[in-house]
Amino acid sequence: MSGHRIAAITRRLLQGFRRDRRTLALLFVAPLVILGLLGYMLRNSATPAVGVVNEDSGPLGAVVASALDGSTKITTTNIAASDGDAKLKDGSIVAYIVFPSDFTQGAQGGVIAPQVHLEGSQPNAAAQALQALQSALATSASNRPGAVRVQPEVTYLYGGPNLDTLDYFGAAAIGLIVFFLVFVVTIVSFLNERSQGTLERLMASPLRRGEIVIGYMIGFTVLALVQSVEVLLFALYVLNVHNAGNVFLIFGIEALMAITAVNLGIFLSMFARTEFQAVQFIPLVIVPQFLLSGILFPVSSEPTWLQYLSNVLPLTYAVNALRDVMVKGADLTWSSLQLDVGVVAAFVLLFIVAGTATLRRRVG
Amino acid sequence: MSEQVAVEVDSVTKEFGVIKALNGVTLRVRRGEIYGLLGPNGAGKTTLIRSIVGLIAPNSGTVTVLGRKLPNLDVLREVGYMTQQAALYPGLSVEENVSFFAAIYGVEGGVKDALEFVDLYTRRGSVVATLSGGMRQRCSLACALVHRPRLLLLDEPTVGVDPQLRVELWEQFRRMAADGTTIIVSSHVMDEAERCQRLGLIQYGRLLAEGSPSEVRSQAGTQNLEEAFLKLAGEKKES
């Protein structure tokens, strides 16, 4: 191993990127666009519109309707019963709730029976409307004089009442974006090295295979670290993603993910001949990892046999580590975090060895 | 092996699946000589050159370069290799490309000399992607000789180079050879073959004939190399 030769490879790589504005934009602008969109959508999503029809001859309908008005989950408008179906059809509301004329009377008889008409094609919006109705009913019922009050006392081990979807996804997303973009850029640049004939030249030089892989790894890691800092600062200070842990620990995990992506990219580039074939690895390698990593659906909620698969993918451990640190405030004294970080580091070593071993084979 | 021999290829056979790219090739290249590998496309010239730089391990036979038997990583420090396509980094400038290869071979300096040698010093700041084919070819040559190799392998170096520069490059090759550099050059251009000290005619992975251009001509009994080549290739086919 020669430090000079490794440094030459790294320097060459970075010199090339200096003039490659498109790739620089992919590395440094794309993450902000993706994270920004994600943040804006999750934080500022509009509440579903729900119509309310109060035909109740007694007082209860109005009480529940005003409780619905106060809900943060939905936006209510008073409508006429005859307009309800037309409004569902034209999409201006996702549901309408009717308090029939005998609503109060029924309640006195022990049956509270509002009628709910759902548009039905948007499960999330429908669930939100139903939740809002249920809590409105509960509030109204417990506000009645002499009623039994339901008042659970809630305490949080991690997070808190203000932890939202962006806090949950954001923690994993910052790692995932770095992983994905670094992977794409690595696999394509290493493939170029092969297709433009320079790899053949390098193999005919005194360079050792390991020097090529390490030189590449350092070059891309430098880029990936800059990207990680950018993504992290954006997530923490622009999007205000919840963070209970040490910023440097998050950065360390991100860096480890970037190094995994670099080496996975080098390794997989051996199995592609053209850039198009390299892009075909994205649905094959990246998307399943993304689905199985637990970023969308917790691994523990997967069917058992899928859990086995999730548990042999590096991304699963990385996503878990980032969430543990950012949401739960984990530090390196936690054995779960030690395991996650250890497994990701082991994958890095595995990919370095695999990448180096396959290098000679595809040149000769 | 004598000190006078730079490259010794001894009954080398290389198969790619069912195709025998090299079929028992034996040849010796002397130090300081310009040795031409002549043959049609697909004859095995590139395979032979790649086995001399250690990119290909032969199925049988041995290759000895500058007194060391391949595979040997150290001897590659003294070998320069110019591939058929101009293998360069298109996003780097001419100078950055040459400096990169200098660093890989562990030499400092020499970049300016190499660029002047191929007449690209004034274009050193140009990004390779913007260069013409001939300029890329010259830049590629500069990358191959920046570390002053004792053995230089050139795989069709003058493809896409205009006639005037081709003459200049050959003049440079001759000077390098006079300084003791051994040059192996493949070509299918016959007037280039005339400039070599010795020739090896290759077809179907075999060495058909070897010798100086005049020896090859008299061996075939023809006036020029082109006819000699066609005649010798034809005889081999019939036998």
Q: Please tell me which of the candidates B81, B92, B96 has its beta carbon nearest to residue A204.
A: B81
Give yes or no for B56 touching A (CB within 8 A). Answer: yes
As a whole number of angstroms, the distance between CA A104 and CA A91 comes to 30
Domains of chain A and CATH, by start: 3-42+162-363 (no CATH), 47-143 (3.40.1710.10)
Residue type, B165: L
Contact (CB<8Å) A203/B101: no
pTM, two decimal places: 0.80
Contact A140, A62 (CB under 8 A): no
Please tell me the distance in Å from B74's CA to the nearest CA on chain A: 6
How much of chain B, in percent, has pLDDT values that exceed 70?
97
Instruction: Please tell me the predicted confidence (pLDDT) of residue A287.
Output: 87
Mutate to test the interface with A, among B100, B105, B108 (most CBs of A within 10 A): B100
Cβ contacts from A onto B, under 8 A: 75
**Tens digits of residue pLDDT in A10-20:** 999 999 888 88
The residue type of A131 is: Q
Sheet holding B19-30, edge to edge: B19-30, B5-16, B60-65, B68-69
Q: What percentage of chain B carries pLDDT values higher than 90?
A: 34
Tell me which residues of chain B, numbers 121 to 140, contact chain A at a CB-CB cutoff of 8 Å. 127
The rounded Cα A124 to chain-centroid distance in angstroms is 18
User: Cis ω on the peptide bond leading into residue B58 (within 30° of 0)?
Assistant: no
Report chain B residues whose CB lies below 8 A from the CB of A14. Answer: none
From A7, A19, A206, residue closest to B91, measured CB to CB: A19
ipTM: 0.87
pLDDT tens digits along B99-137: 999 999 988 888 999 999 888 999 999 999 999 888 888
Strand-pair category, B206-211 with B198-203: antiparallel
Domains of chain B: 5-238 (3.40.50.300)
Which residue blocks in chain B are alpha helix, DSSP H?
45-52, 94-104, 111-117, 133-145, 163-178, 190-193, 213-220, 225-238
The structure tokens listed for A101 are: 């004329």
Residue pair B55/A363 in contact (Cβ under 8 Å)? The answer is yes
In which band, very low, low, confident or very high, does the pLDDT at B238 lie, cut at 50, 70 and 90? very low
Report whether pLDDT(B74) > 70: yes
> Cβ contacts (< 8 Å) between A9 and chain B: which residues?
104
Mutate one of A9, A198, A202, A360 to test the B interface: name it (highest B CB count within 10 A): A198
Cα A26 → chain centroid = 19
- Choose among A159, A151, A345: nearest CA to A253: A345
Question: A201 and B127: CB-CB below 8 Å?
Answer: no
All residue ranges of chain A with pLDDT < 70 are: 144-147, 360-364
Give the distance from CA A29 to its chain's centroid.
Answer: 18
DSSP-derived pairing of the beta strands B182-187 and B60-65: unpaired
Does A12 contact B92 at a Cβ distance shorter than 8 Å? Answer: yes
For B2-49, what is each residue's pLDDT tens digit? Answer: 568 889 999 889 988 888 888 889 999 999 999 999 888 888 888 999
For B84, nearest residue in chain A (alpha carbons) = A197
What's the pLDDT score for residue B239? Answer: 46
Residues from chain A contacting residue B73 (CB–CB below 8 Å): 206, 208
Alpha helices in chain A (DSSP H): 3-19, 21-28, 30-43, 60-69, 84-90, 103-108, 123-143, 165-195, 198-203, 209-233, 247-269, 275-279, 281, 287-292, 304-310, 314-326, 335-363
Closest-CA distance, A32 to chain B, in angstroms, reads 26
Res B235 pLDDT > 80: no
From the list B54, B73, B103, the residue facing A8 with the nearest CB is: B103
Interface test with B, best of A9, A15, A185, A359 (most B CBs within 10 A): A15
**Does B87 sit within 8 Å of A364, measured CB to CB?**
no
Residue of A nearest to B49 (CA): A204
List, in order, residues 6 or more apart from B2 with CB less than 8 Å away.
none
Q: Is B100 on the interface with A (CB under 8 A)?
A: yes
- Is the Cβ pair B104, A363 closer than 8 Å? no
Contact A4 B103 (CB under 8 A): yes
